[in-house]
Chain A
């Protein structure tokens, strides 16, 4: 018994020694994003932007004297791959992870990062992301419930829609947003005539749209992603359904307009401001640098929100003069108005980003956006 104990103690001390002796000379930052698959466009944006930000920080001498090393894992937009990525990144010794793009993938990886004490920031808007009580998780966007409240207000008070149909898919994000919008519309006294789900990537949405047609809605709200939203809009017009189309935030992507074709004109989107219209100097500088390095604009606001999450993490470590993630999290949970690319960054104790800044846009004939409603 005694021998066992002493063996245990010696093993423990050995591992402690190993732990301290193995000091790393770089700060490892993980990117978990869909580099391939349906959301590749967004995933590559997050990866590009994180690498650019790391380059900029490294050029200024790094974080507390250490250079940032970016390690990317492709989660393909699937929960299964996300869980594998989480283990992989933790094993490679990252201190923080940027991503993923979808709530589903962020959620599938959350627990692993939490157990390893790795900070994670995601643009996932599903409310459940901050409901697990993980101190490691920070949302760099605004939750579905904020968007749902805005949508309900827009539908009922501004557009005066009588009959509202809500479509979503099975992802954490879309399901959460769809449910939140249904609840918010009901709470605001509106009528939801249909609430249905589609399978992401199914391509053929005509059966469900034909069914919606019989309910005669004034508006179809689509809570899923652009790769399906663009097709739903095109097929809606093709079927001669004259309802308005309003897409949730994840429809905000150039591919939405390409997929919908001529039907894109007149569709509405709800989202926080697009990168181009961000009024902050930080945003303008970063967009110029991004354009110079990659010869294109970031695919959407999500790219920038994720970079802001990373900037907040780095800021916390610099303020604490320590790479300790728990200390950084404690600092971040009370962070107030740290200047960000997407506006002042403040976090609530549950890891939610504080604030809201939703707007409604109408897509114009040339594919550009016009702001039509602003809270």
Chain B
């Protein structure tokens, strides 16, 4: 194609703009996936259980946030209200998470693994239908806790909410990483994930560790749920399943049971989704996501950062 040089530059700039915009889109959604994936991976790491109810707790968080905002604050937005809604929702959801562990998982700790998985699926349905019974089946509109501010940086548009999602997710993930790697409780969590019996012999209270990971995992998921509400505004009682599924895929891609793996998997999946939808076809983006999952499972069954562990006999 023979184009005047000025037009060529413009075209390249346009292509760059589109690319960068997709990058922003992908990082935003990827950060949310990563936050939610952490809940799956932490629980799996210690309990070897896929907590299928996690996605529904994420959805519940958005509804709890909506409820807290409407009941306590009514209207208006300020940074304090936003922080209060986030903290209160996280506390409520963490409490539900701990309760879930106590009721649905602890009694089945020594049962065959399949029983716990079935219990998790049941818990997922209970929570999903609970949301429906409390808040109704209609789509609810999440309030604008964060003002709708947009910046246009050389053709790439980014909103305050997107910046917040990316920065806060990153901060939470770094904090979690430091907590797991550098603190005593973190060491105990890692020890429990390697061998619960040995950890118990070393004087670690594994029950407390499991409660701790449920508190951390579900509160991170709760933040993810609030982000979904803030970013998309429309929340439905059954949306947890979709986000849960994506986050689950993200956890597997990164290597389930591996905390940095979940973070990496989430971000990669978000970017992968955005670029497939943007450059290949939005129609096929889900299909490609699951093809990616299959390829990862064939080529590297332990995920990108997962390590091959010898099967204990």
Contacts and interface: CB of A to CB of B under 8 A. Distances in A.
12 contacts: A36-B132, A40-B136, A40-B137, A41-B139, A196-B282, A203-B239, A204-B232, A206-B21, A211-B18, A238-B150, A255-B141, A259-B139
Given A36-B132, A41-B138, A240-B152, A206 B234 contact: no
A301 interface: no
* Chain A interface, >50% SS class: helix
A210 B148 contact: no
Interface residues of B, number: 41
Contact of B282 (A35, A199, A238, A240): A199
Contacts of A230: 233-234
A210 B242 contact: no
Contacts of A239: 21, 157
Contacts of B26: 207
Contacts of A273: none
A211 B232 contact: no
A38 B283 CA distance: 20
Given A214-B14, A230-B234, A206 B25 contact: yes
Contact of A261 (B29, B144, B157): B144
A262 interface: yes
Nearest to A36: B137
Interface of B: 14-15, 18, 21-22, 25-26, 28-29, 132, 136-139, 141, 144, 148, 150, 152, 157, 159, 228, 232-234, 236, 238-239, 242, 273-279, 281-283, 285-286
Nearest to B286: A199
B144 A197 contact: no
B270 to A, nearest CB: 9
Contacts of B22: 207, 210
A240 B154 CA distance: 12
Given A36-B137, A40-B138, A227-B139, A201 B242 contact: yes
- Of the listed residues A203, A230, A231, the one surrounded by the most CB atoms of chain B closer than 10 A to its CB is A203
Given A204-B232, A240-B157, A211 B137 contact: no
- Of the listed residues A196, A199, A211, A262, the one surrounded by the most CB atoms of chain B closer than 10 A to its CB is A211
A213 B144 CA distance: 26
A212 B286 CA distance: 19
B238 A37 contact: yes
Contacts of A210: 18, 21-22, 25, 278
Interface string A242-263: 0000000000000100110110
